[in-house]
Homo-oligomer: A and B are copies of this chain.
């Protein structure tokens, strides 16, 4: 292994000077710089990050803590991860994905070992036990998502209000007045504290009321099956609905296939707008879903930047809320005029 000592000897300088150049921590004359750089390339030197970490007390590793037990790692999560990893790499950090439980046990284990400089928390709960652990151990962290109590916590999140406002505004503009929200399942103990469900539902109730449109919320787990069942319940209980907003990704696919299976013509008879979905998930549906695109790439990048600023002692990044934008698919159309739904045809099926 080629060490800094080898480079220093070859260049005729001290290892301190090599280090100063490498880290850009002290000025070095052009001549010495040239000699050192030549020595490095000649020898094929690569700095040992472990030694650097021990000496500097900084590993330059960031963990993205993902609660894999409670949330499937699908396309949306992959978007957050890859954009965060890219952002980290550009700033000379490594970002790695760390599966942790929501209770924080694995997280405590992780941060105690001195392996990571900081943590990006994904899928933050309104009351999140992981926060206390990070604070107690004085581990720098940034949240993608928000707890209820925000006092000074570094975070970025979806702007649920603006997203729901855009969604309802768009449908209202097309003439829809009978909207339903298929929301998440807050009775599931894993999610009773989950910000996106709580915030989306609150925004929907407020904004739908402002627009003077029907306010109906169906709770639904995040599976295709549950989405299909929600579609059936929806059309049974609210047959005059002209547009449905779906919060969860896989439930969204289920609502689409469920309505299709029940014989409804989407979007001619009923429109579907998925709130917060990755384009790759939308493409799995037929017809392709119109979505409010989850700002995963933006939030992954911003969350990482917020953390790195803390680590570098730079000015903190103020909290950022990013709204989802509409990404057109083929599941939205104006409502049929002056005409109720035809009786649902029943397709042959299971």
A residues with a Cβ closer than 8 A to B are: 1, 46-51, 53-54, 59, 61, 68, 72-75, 78, 81-82, 85, 94, 96-99, 112-115, 223-225, 228, 250, 253-254, 257-258, 260-261, 265, 268, 280, 283-284, 286-287, 330, 348-350
Contacts and interface: CB of A to CB of B under 8 A. Distances in A.
A2 to B, nearest CB: 10
A49 B113 contact: yes
A149 B158 CA distance: 48
B49 A280 contact: no
Nearest to A268: B348
A151 B253 CA distance: 46
Nearest to A49: B113
Contact of A348 (B51, B75, B265): B265
B224 A284 contact: yes
A114 B50 contact: yes
Contact of A224 (B47, B114, B283, B348): B283
Nearest to A106: B89
A238 B325 CA distance: 42
Contacts of A115: 49-50, 61, 94
A333 to B, nearest CB: 11
| Candidate in A59, A73, A85, A280 with the most chain B CB atoms within 10 angstroms | A73
A296 B217 CA distance: 38
Q: Which of A46, A81, A261 has the most chain B CB atoms inside 10 A of its CB?
A: A46
Contact of A114 (B48, B223, B225, B349): B48
A284 B349 contact: no
A82 B68 contact: yes
Nearest to A265: B348
A85 B99 contact: yes
Contacts of A85: 99
A260 B350 CA distance: 13
Contacts of A68: 78, 82
Given A250-B284, A284-B224, A350-B287, A49 B114 contact: yes
Contacts of A283: 223-225
Nearest to A223: B283
Contacts of A287: 349-350
Contacts of A54: 50-51, 54
Given A59-B50, A113-B48, A74 B75 contact: yes
Nearest to A1: B114
Given A1-B114, A74-B78, A224-B284, 20 more contacts: A46-B113, A48-B113, A49-B114, A50-B50, A50-B53, A50-B54, A51-B54, A51-B114, A68-B82, A72-B78, A73-B78, A82-B99, A96-B96, A96-B98, A97-B97, A224-B283, A228-B286, A257-B286, A261-B286, A287-B349
Contacts of A268: 348
A154 to B, nearest CB: 23
Contact of A72 (B81, B228, B280, B349): B280
Contacts of A253: 284
